[in-house]
Structure 1
Amino acid sequence: MIPHIEQLMLEKLSGCISAEDDADLLQMMEAHPEFKTVYKELEQRLGEPVAQEYLAHLDEDALWLASRHKFKKHRSGKWMYAAAAGILLLGSSLLYYLQPRVKPATPGGIVLQLANGQQIDLSDTTKAGTLKVGTAEIHVSGKSVTYDAANGSAEMAMNVLRVPAGKDYKLVLADGTEVWMNAKSEIRFPMAFNGKTREVTVSGEAFFSVKQDPARPFIVHAGDVSVNVLGTAFNINAYASPRVALASGKVALKGKNSEQVIQLSPGYEAVYNQQLFSIDAFDKRNTLGWMEGKYYFRHATLKDIGAVINRWFDIEVEFDNTTAEKLDITGILTKQDGLNDFLDNLDKTTGIKYELKNGVLRFR
């Protein structure tokens, strides 16, 4: 919820809103049905015993002296007068009782956070179906979420999709762009793209298949790198230094603290490090294998593999000595076969010892 609108709602509920602000609020609620829904829920919460008890124990004189807000006295008298001061001054605590109650997302679940602060646990298969948010619709299934704002009038307020360790998920944006999210990744995106550009922000790793629209370039922000595309398929890995691998089409890359702009051709990747890009060919199997639950590695250190184990299996990885960290390994890790098979093979081929206990994998 936008703080200004939230404050107007609270002022209206307390009876201290000006005629001008009241008219503005009513107009906004008519234009955006989701605001009207929030207001009704706030009104309902205000009448609940727990909120009434909270307001009853406010020190209204102290609140009034501290507020410096010039409220108009409401016909219901001193109680509502103090309520307004309490709402505006102690909003962070009172809103705990007044704000729309949303069931907290399950820890470790895939979470979609809407612009109004509501969090939806996408890991809960009972949530499958269609959600109506203003003029937009969100279609939820077990493995993907799709935004539908075809009428072009949906709000551009930002949503956040968080994919935790051990999970992966697909997002279809309002323009039809498809985004596959790897574990421990996050994307910030608008409900609809109504501007001259289509912009999102990513952390972690994601593969984009961008819907072509020459009039509105698609821009992905990841760490210190911006990727500008029209209609393209590419992978972006921003767990550490941003790495962009182009599968098809063409992209232009720009560093945040650099004037350097480079273009990639399909089959090549760029890594941004110390304000410079380095370009090289990439192995599609190695770079995109994660989308099939496979991690191919060639001359990778066990420490690097440990980072993948942490993301894919939600397990903390620790090393008792630097020798184990630097161990050079070539092979494959798959989600389907599981971690135990990989560790057993690692022990047999390298002699490295490990202990997996209470969610912690320790190499000795």
Structure 2
Amino acid sequence: MKLAERKKIAHLIFLSLFDLIDEEKRSELNKWLEKRKENQTLFQQLEDTAYQSQHFSRYTQFNAIEGWEKVEPRLKSKSKNLFYRLLPYAAILILCIGIIVLLRTSSQPDIPTALHKNILNPTVRLVMEDGNTLELNSPSSTQGIENENFKSDGKQLVYKHTESSDSPRHHLLQVPRGGEYALVLADGTRVWLNAATELSYPSYFSGKDRRVKLKGEAYFEVSADSSKPFIVETEHLQINVLGTSFNISAYPDESHHATLAKGKIKAIYEEQQVILSPGEQALLTDSGMIVRPVDVSTYTSWKERRFVFKNKPLKEVARDLERWYNIHFTVSQDAQSIRLTANLPKYENIEKILHIIENIARVKCETNDQEIIIKPE
């Protein structure tokens, strides 16, 4: 779609959103909507206030007060109401710019069919102590299981608190690439597991602490119990908790970090121990563990089904997308220094994600069989 046409359609959409459109322009807009199903989808998204807020936010990140102070002296001879007359037009301009960019995004050429990838509900597995394996994607997957204190509805595995003379049984929950799953442990602690993650835990907690082992990434909302500290072990880190909300990322061959949302946690690495407050992160580096302030939402957005990247190298962006879409990415050497800031819906199909990244980062995503190559535009 040419720029002139995008501007025209943006104007029509704006008039429609604010109920200012007449019959003639409504007819023009309807013709555009009928051309492609994608046009209808985009229009529906633009009517969603949450979607507007997300995608137009970057066009509103300017200091209006500062700008007004610069031009006000030149306009003193004008009507005192000039500012209020101009303000609606500024809003129109900002909104139309956003619509034009989204129109440009929606009109990009399609990714080849081999890479049309929607999330397909991959199989989540529960490995029992006796070696038996249950597939948890079906609500009926745990029906008929005897002598166990759990139930699954296909999206969440819930354990009931159990008082038993038997020893707790060892369970391993495995979430593959492209998947997510929720878990409620026997003490009431809630856990969200990201793609390519494993969590090992007992069927119920006994003894002096509540201990689980994590490989991958998970978000915990720990049920408070001062008599039994909650402990998360990863390959390198140990997190001690009494009752709090935090995220741990411990994927193999990636930097390990724990990010605190609420409460307090103690992070332990070899002989180092640090106490985190909300908004802080313990990060493992080559020289040891460091504590730094972070935007927690950047590290927990996956739980809300979104990708949030803030000045993140494309190589790391590609790694996150690989884990979710299970497609291999290659970032060319001359694109390694490019960084991306974006907030994207996690369950969008891969071609839409790539189109947005191309527009924001000014790169080109080329396909080669089951591989996506990212290079400068």
TM bucket (normalised to shorter chain) is 0.5 to 0.7
Question: What residue number does 1:254 align with?
Answer: 268
Query: Which among 244, 248, 268 is matched to residue 258 of structure 2?
Result: 244
Question: What residue number does 1:288 align with?
Answer: 300
Question: What residue number does 2:127 align with?
Answer: 113
**CA apart distance, 1:259:** 1.5
Q: How does 1:57-68 map to 2 (within 5 A)?
A: none
**CA apart distance, 1:214:** 1.3
Report whether the alignment pairs 1:225 with 2:229.
no
- Partner letter of residue 129 of structure 2? A
Cα pair distance change 1:157/1:128, threshold 3 Å: closer
SS of residue matched to 2:316: helix
**CA apart distance, 1:325:** 3.1
Aligned-residue sequence identity (percent) comes to 31
| Root-mean-square deviation (Å) | 2.1
**CA apart distance, 1:323:** 1.4
Question: What residue number does 2:149 align with?
Answer: 137
Cα pair distance change 1:253/1:322, threshold 3 Å: same
Query: Which among 326, 329, 333 is matched to residue 322 of structure 1?
Result: 333
Per-residue CA deviations over 1:140-177 (Å, capped at 9, x if unaligned) read 11210012242243432321101111111101111111
Name the structure, 1 or 2, with higher relative contact order (CA <8 Å, separation 6+): 2
- Partner letter of residue 131 of structure 2? G
- Partner letter of residue 157 of structure 1? R
- Partner letter of residue 185 of structure 1? T
Query: Which among 124, 147, 162 is matched to residue 138 of structure 2?
Result: 124
Report the Cα distance in structure 2 between the residues aligned to 1:213 and 1:147, rounded to whole angstroms: 17
Report the Cα distance in structure 1 between the residues aligned to 2:162 and 2:287, rounded to whole angstroms: 39
Per-residue CA deviations over 1:164-192 (Å, capped at 9, x if unaligned) read 11111101111111110011111001111
Report the Cα distance in structure 2 between the residues aligned to 1:277 and 1:265, rounded to whole angstroms: 15
Question: What residue number does 2:289 align with?
Answer: 277
- TM-score, normalised to structure 2, is 0.63
- TM-score, normalised to structure 1, is 0.65
Q: How does 1:1-364 map to 2 (within 5 A)?
A: 108-127=122-141, 129=143, 131-132=145-146, 134=147, 136-239=148-251, 240-255=254-269, 258-274=270-286, 276-319=288-331, 321-356=332-367, 358-364=369-375
Q: Is the 8 A contact 1:154 1:192 kept in 2?
A: no
SS of residue matched to 1:346: helix
- Partner letter of residue 170 of structure 2? M
Q: Is the 8 A contact 1:245 1:267 kept in 2?
A: yes
Report the Cα distance in structure 2 between the residues aligned to 1:357 and 1:293, rounded to whole angstroms: 28
Q: Is the 8 A contact 2:228 2:242 kept in 1?
A: yes
**CA apart distance, 1:275:** 5.7
Per-residue CA deviations over 1:53-79 (Å, capped at 9, x if unaligned) read xxxxxxxxxxxxxxxxxxxxxxxxxxx
Report the Cα distance in structure 2 between the residues aligned to 1:166 and 1:279, rounded to whole angstroms: 31
Cα pair distance change 1:331/1:117, threshold 3 Å: same
Q: Is the 8 A contact 2:151 2:159 kept in 1?
A: yes
Report the Cα distance in structure 1 between the residues aligned to 2:344 and 2:370, rounded to whole angstroms: 18
The number of residue pairs the alignment matches comes to 254
Uncovered stretches (5+) of structure 1, i.e. residues with no partner: 1-105
Q: Is the 8 A contact 2:314 2:336 kept in 1?
A: yes
- Partner letter of residue 206 of structure 2? N
Uncovered stretches (5+) of structure 2, i.e. residues with no partner: 1-119
Q: Is the 8 A contact 1:298 1:331 kept in 2?
A: yes
Cα pair distance change 1:248/1:123, threshold 3 Å: same
**CA apart distance, 1:247:** 1.1
Q: Is the 8 A contact 2:340 2:360 kept in 1?
A: no
Cα pair distance change 1:358/1:122, threshold 3 Å: farther
